[in-house]
Structure 1
Amino acid sequence: MRMKRAQGLRTAGFTLMELLVVVIIIGILATLAIPQFPRVMESARQAEARAILGQIYQAERLYYLEHDTYTAAGPAANPLTAGIPPDASTEHYFAYAAVGTATTFDATATRKITLVGARPPAWPTAYTITIDEVGTYATSNY
């Protein structure tokens, strides 16, 4: 004689096996993604530094078009770097400087190594990103 299966026993929900498979898949994905996280964060910080250097570049170009010279003032007295984060800032990961002569200029972002209240960076050494009057980016010590 055949036994009848009770009606309505399994109407909704997941089995233990289905939940176990999902947990295993999430674990595998996490082991692949977590080691990449510091590198991705550092690349995002570099993108921020390049964006700020691009703003300095645009300001220098506009200044040059109006005055036929680049700003020769140091970073503290340079009017074009007024909106740039100061070196003492603990919220930004780079220190910015812009120095120019009559015909050239360089804007530099130097990676800060120690930040107050923050974990040390993924890269243990300071490196710099520079943009010149032509708009060429260069990275050193990276």
Structure 2
Amino acid sequence: MHKTRVDKRGFSLMELLITGVIVVVLASLAIPGYLRVRFNMSAEKAKFNLSQIYNAQRAYWMDHWDATDIAVVCSYVRPGEEDELTKYIDCMIGDDDGTWYYQLTAADGKGTAATFSAEAYRVGTPNIKLIIDQTGKIELQDWPY
């Protein structure tokens, strides 16, 4: 007698459906966490950049205590002092790093840091921002996580 051999190749429809459901459930659990981690990583970069701007601003005040224009972000530097700026801050920060854009507000350069603040706004959602003041404290506004 010959046994008939059933050649079973591939997967049944039920196996494919169960696998698909498992993949969808795992993705729905993982994607929000992944997006939160990505956001927090870019926020850490923005905090670091704000700290760099703050430190550069303080160094600038120490060197130019009698100056009235004390901004140090590349696009806000006094004409002719662009090369001098690299002593204080990496010009790669600029005013937009693709994820955050930066704005510096400073006045009264008479040796005081009374009116300094720098802000990082999230590109696409300007209500989410980080603010650093003259004390170096970073404040979070409208933070989603």
Could you say which TM-score interval applies, normalised by the shorter chain?
0.5 to 0.7
Tell me whether 1:106 sits opposite 2:107 in the alignment: no
Which residue number in structure 2 is paired with residue 116 of structure 1? none
User: For residues 69 and 141 of structure 1, what CA distance do their matches in structure 2 show?
Assistant: 36
User: For residues 101 and 34 of structure 2, what CA distance do their matches in structure 1 show?
Assistant: 23
Which residue number in structure 2 is paired with residue 97 of structure 1? 103
Extract unaligned runs of 5+ from structure 1.
1-22, 114-123
Which residue number in structure 2 is paired with residue 77 of structure 1? 76
Residues 30 and 97 (structure 1), Cα distance of their counterparts in 2 relative to 1, 3 Å cut: same
What is the Cα deviation at residue 73 of structure 1?
4.1
Aligned partner of 1:39 among 33, 36, 41: 36
State the identity as a percent: 27
User: For residues 69 and 112 of structure 1, what CA distance do their matches in structure 2 show?
Assistant: 35
Which residue number in structure 2 is paired with residue 128 of structure 1? 129
Is the CA contact 1:130–1:138 (under 8 Å) kept in the aligned structure 2? yes
SS class of match (1:41): helix
User: For residues 48 and 100 of structure 1, what CA distance do their matches in structure 2 show?
Assistant: 22
Deviations 1:44-94 (A, max 9, x none): 01000001111101101111222226754485223466714344x5x6200
Could you tell me which amino acid in structure 2 is paired with residue 35 of structure 1?
P
SS class of match (1:127): strand
Extract unaligned runs of 5+ from structure 2.
1-18, 78-84
Bigger Cα displacement from structure 2, 96-105 vs 26-35: 26-35
Residues 61 and 86 (structure 1), Cα distance of their counterparts in 2 relative to 1, 3 Å cut: closer
Is the CA contact 2:60–2:72 (under 8 Å) kept in the aligned structure 1? no
After superposition, the CA RMSD in angstroms is 2.9
Deviations 1:6-32 (A, max 9, x none): xxxxxxxxxxxxxxxxx9xx9686654
Could you tell me which amino acid in structure 2 is paired with residue 94 of structure 1?
W
Which residue number in structure 2 is paired with residue 8 of structure 1? none
Is the CA contact 1:108–1:131 (under 8 Å) kept in the aligned structure 2? yes
